Amino acid sequence: MYKLTFFVVAFLMLTSCGDKTKTTDDFSKDTAAPTDGSATSTTDAATYDPNRGIGKHTSVDLGAKLDVAMAAEGEKIQSVKCSSCHKLTDEKLVGPGWKGVTTRQKPEWIMNFITNPDPMIDKDPELQAQLELCLVRMPNQALSDTDARNLLEFMRKNDGVK
């Protein structure tokens, strides 16, 4: 009886780890369905823009000074949605640490990754290398553009922008 219970519990745990199907949203505009019925992306590795990534954010106006109110909102989002996987230092937790991210990546890339992580992980060689180290894909947190911009401003604060 205990063996049967063990197998049932093990089966339920393995199959309940989440829905592995991809969904489309407003940020997945870089994919198109070909007429032959096969699925493919209109953006391949040869045309992938490493400065912008994949997504609708082509230009992000940061301003010279930190927007303190936006950073405060971003900090709230970070504490709820991001802190379980990312430290604010350069130390890896589940995902990489955030220190210096705004000096390593363009704001458009950060905004597109926050709002559109799956296609970016699939196409960006740096993200694929990071995935090999972390072994866990960043989940799509379904953040709005405003939430993502606030989070970006908090990242800037974390990197010392005043």
What are 41's strand-pairing partners?
31
Q: Where are the domains of the chain?
A: 67-162
Distance CA 158, CA 78 (A): 11
pLDDT tens for residues 87-111? 999 999 999 999 999 999 999 999 9
Q: Say yes or no to pLDDT of 8 above 50.
A: no
Distance CA 136, CA 134 (A): 5
- According to the model, what pLDDT value does residue 48 have? 84
pTM (2 d.p.): 0.71
CA angle 47, 53, 55 (to 5 degrees): 105
Q: What is the mean pLDDT of the chain?
A: 80
What CATH architecture is 67-162?
Orthogonal Bundle (1.10)
41 with 118: CB under 8 angstroms?
Answer: no
What are 31's strand-pairing partners?
41
